[in-house]
Structure 1
Amino acid sequence: MERIKESFLVSPFFVFFLIHSMQIGVGILGFQRIIAKSAGYDSWIAVILAGAAVHVIVWMMYKILNDSKGDIIDVHKEVFGKWIGGFFSLLFVVYLMSLSITVLRTYIEVVQVWMFPELNAWVFSFFALALTYYIILGGFRTVTGISFFSIVLPVYILLLVFFPLEFAHVRNLLPILSHSFTEIAQATRDMTLSILGFETLFFFYPFIKNPKSSQKWAHLGVLATTVLYLITMITTIMFYSSGQLDKHIWATLSMFKTIVMPFVERFEYVGVASWFFIILPNICISIWGASRGIKKVFSVQQRKVLLFILPVVWVASSFLKTRQGIDKLNEYMSSFGFYTVFVYIPILFVLTLVIRKVRKNK
């Protein structure tokens, strides 16, 4: 097991911010329309079910990590051996890079549609990734600090709960369970892209002081995410008719239009601009995890790995030009994430249990 200096470790309660900040990104801006296609006004049930599923996966992850000698790279080596384990670790690296590309490109599209149609994606992504490089060079504690401030600073999101309620229709929530279990299950799966990110725990676990004690904070982070998505979904259901919801790609941003203040005429502009602070930890933690994974697999310096990963993310995030292409990227990432989180992790959980039990008996 790699020994990490005490000065690089973070307190267990910071896991709350690391998990929560990774799950809240561009997904919350427009997840409502996606899941409402399957479950309509019962979509809030899908949010609860998705949150419950994440709690189960987080519990499995801690079971895997608590009895390991490090992070997911070490677990793969323990279960599959050096070569096959290294291959699975590299797949996780690709997954994290894909996640950062999806978040960055989707946010750029939001800025282009809502604020600056002529914004050059190459230029914006270059400066965003330059900032990411600077943050990651500061070490994991700096990355954790960004996660903390990304939650504390944009507290204005709480306004979303109150302002649209002036135009809400509570009867939209009725009748409850008007959709089949299959439709609600499909909507739960469609929530995947919005709740991804917590699996980065596999990489930063060794950087937590007394990591076993951080499990309650991880579950609290997931709970906070679920509650925020649930409140947003219920507010959206009461605010929009089914026909309106189907036409709003970014329903959350559209609700920002109801916020009227004497000093801000277009509050949605404030929302889009300051949302960069919310998506920044998504990019930083994902790229930090990917660079650390390659560092451990190939035994190279993390700084040098970053100089390889960042240009790849830059080119990939700037390559997509059309709305259809970005939609496809989100669909592929949703499927990639679903199979990684809800299929592969349970399989890995069972394998680690069996292998450790056999070795213990021997």
Structure 2
Amino acid sequence: MQKIKEVFLVSPFLVFFLIHSEQVGVGVLGYQRIIAKYAGYDSWISVIIAGIFVHILIWMIYYVLDNGGGDIVTIHKTLFGGFIGNIFNIAIILYFLLWSITVLRTYIEVIQVWMFPTLNTWKIAVVFLILTYYVVSSGFRTVTGVCFFGVVIPLGLIALLVYPLHFTHFSNLLPLFDESLKDYLFATKNMMLSYLGFETVLVFYPFIKNAKKSQKFAHYANIFTFMIYLLITLFSFAFFSQEQLARNIWATLSMVKIVQVSFVERFDYIFVSVWCLVILPNITLAIWCSSRVAKLMLNVRQHYTLIVVLAIALFTCILLNTRFKINMLNNYTNKIGFYLAISYIPILFIATFIRKLMKKKGANSEQSSSSS
């Protein structure tokens, strides 16, 4: 693992903000319709199942990093060799790039639908990507600072959920446990897109001071994310009928739309505008991860890989010019993220466990032979 100077390291507790800021993003605006498609109003159970599943995956990731040296590029080459290891590295680069494009293009669509229908996609994308370049090129500590404020500043928006309580009917949630196990599993699979982001720890782990102590903060972040998603899910299901939810692409925004104050006519405009503080950490951390792995793999300055990654992101956003393409992008990202979670991370865990076991047996055999 490449030794990182202490001046570039961040405290273990900041992992809470890094992971939570990446998990809560554009998905929170409209995930309810997607999970309710399979398990109906019982889909809140899938929120719990997905949250527990992510806790297990976080534990696996930390096991791999703690026992593999902490650098994912080195871990890939150690476990799978140079050629296959580089294939895994390329896959990680493309995955985080895909993730950042999905978040950026989906948020741009929200802006175009709710606020500025005639605004060109490339103009909004350029603004976000220039900000991303400034943050990422300033170093990981700056990325961490953006993630910190991306959690703290918009936190008050959660209080807006109190207003729709006047129009909720929690009897909608009855009867409980009325769906099949297959429906719950499909809903959990769709819910995974909203929980994705925890896997960024695979890349930024070497930048954490006393990294092993940060695992509890990673779990705290996932618990906080789970609580937010469960709360929004229950409120949404109590607010909308199933027919309304099936037709509503952004259920959370629709709930916020009914908020009325004397000095603002459309509060959803404020919500969408402030939400950019949540989206920016999503994009910056994912872009940083993608350009960082490319830097380590190609052994070049991260400045060069950053420019290439941003250029690809901008070009792709411009090409995604219809609702069908954006929806397809979200579906593919969800599938790739889900299969990454249930296959790639367990494979790393099993390979690391076997390697550790073999090293332990080798050390024991050497010790016994020397003593004899």
Normalising by structure 1, we get a TM-score of 0.99
AA aligned opposite 2:21: S
Aligned residues: percent identity?
Answer: 50
SS for the counterpart of 2:70 is: coil
Alpha-carbon displacement from aligned partner over 1:281-304 (angstroms, at most 9, x marks no partner): 111000100111011111000011
Matches within 5 A, 1:182-221: 182-221=182-221
Residue of structure 2 in register with 1:154 after alignment: 154
Residue of structure 1 in register with 2:243 after alignment: 243
Q: CA deviation at 1:264?
A: 1.4
Query: Is the CA contact (8 Å cut-off) linking 2:196 and 2:337 kept in structure 1?
Result: yes
Alpha-carbon displacement from aligned partner over 1:115-173 (angstroms, at most 9, x marks no partner): 00011111110111011000011110000000000111112322232011110101111
Residue of structure 1 in register with 2:298 after alignment: 298
Alpha-carbon displacement from aligned partner over 1:91-126 (angstroms, at most 9, x marks no partner): 001000000000000000000000000111111101
CA distance in 2, matches of 1:127, 1:178: 47
Residue of structure 1 in register with 2:70 after alignment: 70
Normalising by structure 2, we get a TM-score of 0.96
Q: Which runs of 4+ in 1 moved over 3 A?
A: none
Residue of structure 1 in register with 2:360 after alignment: 360
Residue of structure 1 in register with 2:365 after alignment: none
Q: CA deviation at 1:78?
A: 1.1
Alpha-carbon displacement from aligned partner over 1:45-89 (angstroms, at most 9, x marks no partner): 000000000000000000000112232111101101122111101
Matches within 5 A, 1:108-123: 108-123=108-123
Residue of structure 2 in register with 1:280 after alignment: 280
Query: Is the CA contact (8 Å cut-off) linking 2:68 and 2:352 kept in structure 1?
Result: no
CA distance in 2, matches of 1:74, 1:227: 35
Residues paired across the two proteins, number = 362
Alpha-carbon displacement from aligned partner over 1:297-332 (angstroms, at most 9, x marks no partner): 110000111111110011011111110110100011
| Structure 1: stretches of 5+ with no match in the other structure | none
Residue of structure 2 in register with 1:135 after alignment: 135
Residue of structure 1 in register with 2:348 after alignment: 348
Residue of structure 1 in register with 2:370 after alignment: none
Matches within 5 A, 1:36-115: 36-115=36-115
SS for the counterpart of 1:191 is: helix
CA distance in 2, matches of 1:331, 1:132: 25
SS for the counterpart of 1:261 is: coil
- Specify the structure having the higher radius of gyration (Cα): 2
SS for the counterpart of 2:68 is: coil
AA aligned opposite 1:6: E
CA distance in 2, matches of 1:208, 1:82: 26
CA distance in 1, matches of 2:361, 2:263: 69
Let me know the Cα RMSD of the aligned residues.
0.8
The reply to whether residue 308 of structure 1 matches residue 330 of structure 2 is no
CA distance in 2, matches of 1:160, 1:361: 57
Residue of structure 2 in register with 1:261 after alignment: 261
Query: Is the CA contact (8 Å cut-off) linking 1:203 and 1:293 kept in structure 2?
Result: yes
Query: Is the CA contact (8 Å cut-off) linking 2:67 and 2:352 kept in structure 1?
Result: no
CA distance in 1, matches of 2:127, 2:68: 38
SS for the counterpart of 1:313 is: helix
Matches within 5 A, 1:318-337: 318-337=318-337
| Structure 2: stretches of 5+ with no match in the other structure | 363-372
Alpha-carbon displacement from aligned partner over 1:4-36 (angstroms, at most 9, x marks no partner): 010100000000000000000110000000000
